[in-house]
């Protein structure tokens, strides 16, 4: 049984520490009794310290939205895994499509970050997903295959199992267009097939695969009920405690 994981990717929102703390103060009591779902909130870097502090005695874990693969040095503007670790951050999102598209991050760079995160015992959430043109051209599986092959290059199966994959079709992010549960399930199964060929069936079945893209309280249940969808990475709807709690409850319900 894979434990569902719900991540709140706040993107460049709620970066003022008091703003983060206010939201988390509402979320903490409502999720108190949820123990069958991993809950991760990823605020901007500026609010990570406050987020770690306020969630210390709760069942919410804090994640960063990015990191660099070197520990220290002349890398202006970058944040290292060492700093995150020392701050008490436990997860890190890597290779989000906004990082890939806007900041030109390559699979090769994400692979280096992934290996570094794992060596620092940060739990990585690695995003993959196709553009609309690629889906329309019937290239979704090819894109996913290449991203997995390159992003997870030379990863041991022990490390792979510690990684969470977030399948986020880019055309569904922030657009209100959700991939249907069937479309998502098909790709999640395909991801497991690739991993079975690359590793083995035990590894392929153990890894958690989240869906991301316009998840809302109204569509969460039907997505999470699918066998191979192990929760979600939520953007817009994770900014308010009420809507995020509804989504967490939908994931929790699938474990009963
Ligand atoms: P939305 O939920 O706002 O579509 O964002 C999804 C996402 O990119 C999560 O990482």
Find the 173 Cα to ligand 1 centroid distance in Å.
5
In the chain, where the domains are located: 5-253
Residue 242 pLDDT: 98
Find the 110 Cα to ligand 1 centroid distance in Å.
19
How confident is the model over 228-232, as a mean pLDDT?
98
Residue 94 pLDDT: 98
Contact 62, 89 (CB under 8 A): yes
CATH number for the domain running over 5-253: 3.20.20.70
Residue among 157, 89, 168, 154 nearest 126 (CA): 168
Quote the CA–CA distance of 53 and 66 in Å, as a whole number: 20
Retrieve residue 54's tokens.
């306020």
Where b means 16+ CB within 10 Å and e means fewer, 95-114 reads bbbbbbeeeebebebbbebb
Task: Select from 214, 235, 240 the residue to mutate for testing ligand 1; criterion: most ligand atoms less than 8 Å from CB.
Answer: 235
Residue 130 pLDDT: 97
Contact 236, 197 (CB under 8 A): no
CA 127 to ligand 1: nearest atom:
10
pLDDT, tens digit, 9 for 90 and up, residues 58-82: 999 999 999 999 999 999 999 999 9
Contact 133, 146 (CB under 8 A): no
Residue 178 pLDDT: 85
Residues taking part in catalysis: 96, 168
């Amino acid at each position: 049984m894979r434990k569902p994981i719900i991540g709140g990717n706040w993107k460049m929102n709620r970066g003022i520490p008091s703003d983060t703390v206010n939201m988390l103060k509402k979320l903490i009591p409502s999720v108190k009794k949820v123990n069958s779902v991993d809950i991760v909130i990823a605020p901007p870097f500026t609010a990570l310290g406050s987020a770690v502090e306020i969630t210390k005695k709760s069942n919410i874990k804090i994640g960063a939205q990015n990191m660099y693969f070197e520990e220290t040095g002349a890398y202006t503007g970058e944040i290292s895994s060492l700093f995150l670790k020392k701050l008490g951050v436990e997860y890190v999102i890597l290779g989000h499509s906004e990082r890939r598209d806007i900041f030109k991050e390559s699979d090769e760079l994400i692979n280096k970050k992934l290996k570094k995160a794992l060596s620092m015992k940060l739990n990585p959430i690695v995003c993959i997903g196709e553009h609309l043109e690629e889906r329309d051209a019937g290239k979704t599986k090819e894109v996913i295959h290449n991203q997995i092959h390159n992003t997870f290059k030379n990863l041991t199966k022990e490390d792979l199992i510690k990684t969470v994959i977030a399948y986020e079709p880019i055309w569904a992010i922030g657009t209100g267009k959700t991939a249907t549960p069937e479309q998502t399930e098909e790709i999640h199964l395909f991801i497991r097939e690739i991993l079975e060929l690359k590793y083995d069936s035990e590894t392929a079945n153990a890894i958690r695969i989240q869906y991301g893209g316009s998840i809302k309280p109204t569509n969460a249940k039907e997505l999470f009920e699918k066998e191979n969808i192990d929760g979600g990475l939520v953007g817009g709807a994770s900014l308010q405690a009420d809507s995020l709690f509804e989504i967490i409850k939908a994931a929790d319900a699938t474990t009963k």
